[in-house]
Each structure stands twice: as structure tokens, then as C-alpha cells.
Structure 1
């Protein structure tokens, strides 16, 4: 059986308070990952200092931990607040990929519309682009309002079928 090394003794002393320190640090910084990092830094500083000259080990560990929290808060205050760069750079304009994709889809839609019989294509375009009602389209094409509605529906079904719309 080997005699305990100083680091083993330090480790055992620290481990008695490690869970308690982590809870304390988590309450202070409101982030469990940061608290774990600060606890690790507490351990490193405790190792450097040693426990030979420490009267109250628990108080000593808490003092190190509290000082680390204060240092962290000072760093946060000293850092200039930065806006999210992605928000500043965000543009409502479409990106190159979007433009190319939209262009391809538009070209595909144009060829699909060209495949439609002229009266179906015209009924759909008047309805969707010009905002005409079925009654107005029927009057322009010389058909009933319900027939104009059927033209629009048939054209939409054709386009949807050919475009293979994705959800």
C-alpha cells in the first residue's frame, strides 16, 4: 500500500465540498456549464495554494469560488455589449441560392403553364395575377361563372400535379 501523495490528500479534501461548491456556483452564475468550469478553476487554485496553511478549508474554497464569480462578472461588465452580428447582417433580400432556386422553379412553372390549353391558362392567370373573380373571368371568356371556376380548378390541379409540390 502506497502512502497518499499531497495531490491525493488535496483531492480528497476538495471532493468533500465539490458538490456543494457546484450548487453554489450554479446559483451565482445561473449556468451549470459555467459553474462546472469555475469549480474546476477553484480546484486548480486550491491545488496551487495547498491546504497546509488553511484553517477552515470550506471557507477557503468558498472564498476562491466567490472571487472567481466576481472576476467573471467583471469580465462581463468590461466587455462591450455586442449585438448579434447575424441580426445586423440579415437582409430581407433573397440570397444567391434562393434566387437561383426561385428562377428554376419559375422557369418550370412557365413551361407547365404553356402546356395548359389557352382558356385554362388565361382563367388561372386572370384569377391569380389580376385578382379577377370567377364571374368576371366567365364574362371575359364567354362562359358561366361555374365553368370559369372549373377552368381555374383544372389549371391548378394540372400545375400542382406537374410541380410535385412539396409540403
Structure 2
């Protein structure tokens, strides 16, 4: 039913404001139980007030308290649904973004290539003369210094250096395309 504009409209607006002020705390509490968030509840109640006033401008409201609570309930449910939807939407975006981040783990192809290279190096090392192989393994695998390798094998530091360099060159050749491989 349409309202006729007149002096009564100003009085009704004051009455509606009084109803809102009287129920504001209860409305926020009610909206908060639905939304689960006091900040969102405040927003819902403010939106409810603007919708309530808009409705009051075009029709007579017989039970303003009841209408306010119904508007708050509907807006709070909408806000909760929207929040749940956004959480699912953005959670999926985060999962997608995490999947696009490069992994520290090598790819399957890189692991296969590394295993192949290691096999070629191990094969090349196994074909080295015993003294060269021992000097190389003690220095490069066990981490001994050239002096420590020399002491252990009864060789000079310079000879150990030559043996290790020779072994490294042999391994490099084994890894080159067309290099010596069995």
C-alpha cells in the first residue's frame, strides 16, 4: 500500500529510527551469530537499516521490529553464503598457485638423465688404472686433500694431482656425446 507524503512521514521516520536504535545491539548480536563475525554483522545491520528505510518510504510498516530482524537475517545468510563461496574460490586459487610454483625436486626426466650420467661416470671410473682410480676416489669422493691422498698411497702431492686431473678428464670424455663408453 502506498504512503501519502505529508507531515506524518517525518514522524514515522523518527519512529523508525527509534525502533532501529532500540534494536541495534540485538540486531548486531543476531547477525553475528549467523555470520560468525562481529565486523560483518555491523555491515549487515547497516545494510538492513538502509533497506528498511527504503521499504518504509514506499509502504506502511506495521511490525517494524519484525521486518528489521527479517532483513538482518536474510542479509546475514547472504553474507555467510558469499563468504563460504569466496573461501572456496580463493582456496582453489591458492592451491592452483602453489601447483604452479617450481618444485625443488628434480623432474623425472632430470632424475633419469642424472642416473644415466652417474652410470657413465662410474663406468669410466671403473676403467681407470687402479692407482689413478684410488687417488681420484679418495680425493673427490672421500674428500681427502691431495697431501692426505699422497700420504695414504705413498705418492707425492704433485703425482696425486696429476692422477686426479687425469681421472677427471677421463670422466669428462665419458660424458661427452660420442665419448668413450662401453
What TM-score comes out, normalization by structure 1 length? 0.46
What TM-score comes out, normalization by structure 2 length? 0.43
